[in-house]
Amino acid sequence: MRAKRSKKYRKIMHQYELTFGFHEPYQVLVDSNFLRAVHQFKMELIPALERTLQGKAKPFLSKCSLAAIMAAQPINPKTNKPYRPWHLPPPTELPLRHCSHNDDNTPIDEVECLLSLLCPNTDTMRNKEHYILATAEPVALPHDDVKSDNPKTRRQAEALMEERSEKALALRSAARAVPGVPIIYVKRSVMVLEPFSTPSEKVRLGVEKSKFKIGMEAALDVVSGLKRKRDDEEDGPSAPSKDRHAKKAKAPNPLSMKKPKRREKPKPDEQGKRKEKKREEESRDDTAQDTVADAEGEQAVKKKRKRKHKSAKSEIGAVEVGDGSGPDEGPVSADE
């Protein structure tokens, strides 16, 4: 199967799971035409179904469908029973789905049987058991003389084929009318899964809208709960405590209430004296700064160290050598 088709089928089955509650293993109701088509195109029943449904599948055959298959087979003269057809899988691979439509358990028409299993109650129109319908176009039987030379027998065979095809179409159209019924059919050796029918699509959209509505209501409930909690906190037992410690109107600052002192205006004589005092203080500061600067300048200027002459040092060294080596020489003065 191509990747694009498998992805599409996986998405369809996922929508059936979310909307209608399908789950693996998927229960598949198989009709007689589907079994004949699978055998004709040499397909394996269970692997082909699992590839189409993208999951594990469990096929079932109703008792009425088995009766329809055996009724179309020729009768064995030795046992007086119809031959078992080659396209019918063993019961281990295809178990029987018991259906009781009447008291004596006599089989009814295959289409009516399958529709009653898909939708037991026509009032609710619900696929309660989550069945999947597997059907196909009718295939010519071995005893059908569709290519006969006799025109009468050929016309009879063609009429039977038309009747079977009408029944197959009626089955598919009736199954589409029931919401939540996936349909598988075989077309040209390919097993196909039908997309959502109109009733199923309506149910799916309704479920999605209800989920959206529930989500919105939950969000509104959360918001209203938060608002209610806030109101309760404001109006709750903690509110009186806040009122107790509420700020009260206090008296004004006494310092701010003092009247400013009036400053007396100085007399003109006192103003002159004050100016002279300021001038004297400024002159004193200037002299003090000058003395400090002079002291710093004297300290900065240091005495230079006097350097002795080099010739005097050499003469002193020679005199010292002469004192130890000369025989009768007396002391020589530095001036000589």
Residues 177 and 293: their CA atoms lie apart, in Å, by 117
**pLDDT value of residue 329:** 46
CB-count exposure of residue 187 (10 Å: 0-12, 13-18, 19+): exposed
Amino acid letter, residue 120: P
User: How far out from the chain centre does Cα 316 lie?
Assistant: 107
Which tokens sit at 299? 């300290």
Residue 158 vs residues 145, 155, 186: alpha-carbon distances, Å = 8, 5, 21
Helix ranges, the chain (H): 3-20, 32-40, 45-53, 63-71, 110-118, 151-177, 198-235, 238-244, 254-257, 268-300, 310-325
Q: How confident is the model at residue 115 (pLDDT cuts 50, 70, 90)?
A: very high
Asked if 61 contacts 94 with a C-beta cutoff of 8 angstroms, the reply is yes
Residues 309 and 318: their CA atoms lie apart, in Å, by 15
Asked if 173 contacts 68 with a C-beta cutoff of 8 angstroms, the reply is no
Asked if 113 contacts 62 with a C-beta cutoff of 8 angstroms, the reply is yes
Asked if 45 contacts 15 with a C-beta cutoff of 8 angstroms, the reply is no
Residues 43 and 116: their CA atoms lie apart, in Å, by 28
**pLDDT value of residue 335:** 44
CA dihedral 46, 47, 48, 49 (to 10 degrees): 50
pTM for the full predicted model: 0.62
| Phi, psi (deg, nearest 5) at residue 135 | -140, 175
| Phi, psi (deg, nearest 5) at residue 193 | -105, 120
Q: Work out whether strand 26-30 and strand 57-62 pair parallel, antiparallel, or are unpaired.
A: parallel
Q: How confident is the model at residue 230 (pLDDT cuts 50, 70, 90)?
A: low
pLDDT tens for 284-309 read 777 767 666 666 655 555 555 666 66
E strands in 118-182: 131-136
What structural domains and CATH numbers belong to the chain? 1-207 (3.40.50.1010)
Mean pLDDT within 65-79: 88
Beta bridge partners of 58: 27
Q: How confident is the model at residue 103 (pLDDT cuts 50, 70, 90)?
A: confident
